[in-house]
Amino acid sequence: MAARPFHLAWFLQGSSIQAWGAPWTGNISEDWMYPSLFIDLVKSMERACFDYILIEDSIYIGQNWKDSREIFLKNGMCTPRQEPSVVATLMAAHTKHLGIVPTLSTFAYHPYLTARIVGTLDQISAGRGGWNMVTGSSDLSAQNFGMPRLPNHDDRYVMAEEYVQICKGLWGSWEPGAIVADRKSGVLIDHEKVHTIDFEGDYYSSRGPLNSGPLPQGQPVIAQAGGSKSGKAFAARHADTVVAAPKGVAAMKAYRDDVRAERVAAGLDPDTVKILYLLSPVVGETETEARDKAERRRETAAANLDLRLARLGWSTNIDFSDCDLDAPVGSFTTNGHQSSLNQFLKGSEGKTLREAIIDHSSSGYTVDVVGTPESCAAQMEEIMDEVGGDGFLLELGDLSRRSVASIIDGLVPELQQRGLTRKAYSHAHLRDNLLEF
């Protein structure tokens, strides 16, 4: 039986300094402002026929460790970070087929501005633009925009419903064929095919139409990380591709089944949403080398517990600095990134905080894939066979040109040889490539 192909994408941990302090990372202190690493990355990804790159983002400097920014600044943790929509245009200029998906938060950008930014990205990339929609996870980011705190988690998704309706309405405010460009009649745009949307909601309003014109894709691709109950339901209604991180193959399958069922309940075709699972594979020339790399990852986590807990606190809005490392993990709640906290707590049962954070920080996100290119490809094939689809969103904590090569020139050719990932792009637009299989 022929192998069922799956999708590959890349999760970039922000347009920021990558793998600070790690070997093989070049002259970070000199060239971090110009993202030459990211340009090389997207060129390599395109050579390997990835579907898209997702540019994760945050718009604050962490202060969730001893109520101080020191550990975050000293270690370059998620800072400095550049505006992802600007970096996305640079990536688009250096590629021809790869989808470009920057993160834009619903609380930081008015929906008209988001629609205009993402619409323009789709135009200049000739139909390869997307938007990773997030609602925010930190009060620190809200305070940068003059708000005392973020709305409650579930309320953010109620607001996001209006937000997405406006964006979709604005992208559709130009009918197909609105640009006539008829020199004889002297008409560039048929004014009867450009419409206001006149949206009035409880949280947002917009008159429209979008002044930046129609989009090659009509509607750009929307990505969303639906981890919580509200987020999962929202993703099922609106996302074209979902960022997922449930732990273990059984949980991955259950997650996919849930989203697809929600999709059907919303009156949509479940095959039109592609769920990609976060994965950080460890690839070596030999099994021994790969296992050694994985063990070094674990040793690094064990030797830097403060950093690992601060990083978890950064996304969950929790300060773990006063917690007893050798006591069982306690009960925590958050108005921040709930899925991150839930995944940590789920994997912490019966463990001390020390044990839990080491396991959490050294894992491969959803599953651990460790080995040679051949064995990693076999593991990924088996996982997808059990889960049912739709692919993997790769992330490397030690991102460098060297580590990228282990994926692009090591793992991917083996996947392609097995018929698991594409060897060429069949379509010009990102959405069409996602819907190909």
Please state, rounded to an integer, the average pLDDT across all residues of the chain: 95
Q: Which of 196-200, 270-274, 353-357 is predicted least confidently? A: 353-357
Rounded distance between C-alpha atoms, residue 136 and residue 58, angstroms: 8
User: Which candidate, 281, 293, 301, 285, places its Cα nearest to that of 393?
Assistant: 281
> How much is the pLDDT for 113?
99
Structure-model confidence comparison of residues 180 and 330, the more confident one: 180
Residue of 433, 386, 93, 11 whose CA lies nearest to 240:
433
Compute the distance between CA of residue 278 and CA of residue 363 in angstroms, rounded to an integer: 11
Q: What are 347's two structure tokens?
A: 């994997």
Q: How confident is the model at residue 47 (pLDDT cuts 50, 70, 90)?
A: very high
| Interval 255-271 mean pLDDT | 97
The three state secondary structure string of the chain is CCCCCCEEEEEECCCECCCCCCCCCCCHHHHCCCCHHHHHHHHHHHHCCCCEEEECCCCCCCCCECCECHHHHHCCCCCCECCHHHHHHHHHHCCCCCEEEEEEECCCCCHHHHHHHHHHHHHHCCCCEEEEEECCCCHHHHHCCCCCCCCCHHHHHHHHHHHHHHHHHHHCCECCCCEEEECCCCEEECHHHECCCCEECCCCEECCCCCCCCCCCCCCEEEECCCCHHHHHHHHHHCCEEEECCCCHHHHHHHHHHHHHHHHHCCCCHHHCEEEEEECCEECCCHHHHHHHHHHHHHHHHHCHHHHHHHHHHHHCCCCCCCCCCCECCCCCCCCCHHHHHHHHHCCCCCEHHHHHHHHHHCCECCCCEECHHHHHHHHHHHHHHHCCCEEEECCCCCCHHHHHHHHHHHHHHHHHCCCCCCCCCCCCHHHHHHCC
Within its chain, how far is the Cα of 195 from the centroid? 32
Task: List every span in the chain annotated with CATH 3.20.20.30.
Answer: 7-287+366-435
d(CA 15, CA 58): 10
CA 72 to chain centre: 21
Q: How far is CA 30 from the centre of its chain?
A: 27
Interatomic CA distance for residues 346 and 66, integer angstroms: 25
In Å, how far from its chain's centre is CA 257? 20
Give the residue numbers of the binding site for FMN: 57, 103, 153, 157, 228
Nearest Cα to Cα of residue 50 among 361, 398, 395: 395
Note the Cα 255 to chain centre separation in Å: 17
Tell me which residue of 381, 393, 383, 390 sits closest to 434, measured CA to CA: 390
pLDDT recorded at residue 29: 73
**Spelled out in words, what is the top-level CATH class assigned to the domain 7-287+366-435?**
alpha beta
**Residue 273: pLDDT over 90:** yes
Which band of pLDDT confidence, cut at 50, 70 and 90, is reported for residue 424? very high
90-109 average pLDDT score:
98
Q: What is the largest CA-CA distance in the chain?
A: 80
Query: In angstroms, rounded to a whole number, what is the distance separating the alpha carbons of residues 328 and 358?
Result: 14
Higher pLDDT, 13 or 26: 13
Using the structure block, give the residue that is written with the tokens 């992330």: 395
- Which residue has better confidence, 348 or 261? 261
Contact 317, 138 (CB under 8 A): yes
Would you state the pLDDT for residue 2? 64
Residue numbers in the known binding site are: 57, 103, 153, 157, 228
Spatial CA neighbour of 131 closest among 54, 19, 63: 54
pLDDT tops 60 at residue 1: no
Please determine, for residue 90, whether its predicted confidence score (pLDDT) is greater than 90: yes
What average pLDDT score do residues 127-137 get? 96
Q: How does pLDDT run across 193-247, given as a tens digit for each residue? A: 999 999 999 999 999 999 999 999 999 999 999 888 888 999 999 999 999 999 9
Give the pLDDT confidence score for residue 336 in this predicted structure.
75
Q: In Å, how far from its chain's centre is CA 207? A: 30
The model carries a pTM of 0.95
Which is nearest to 366 in space by CA: 188, 237, 240, 227?
227
52-80: average pLDDT: 95
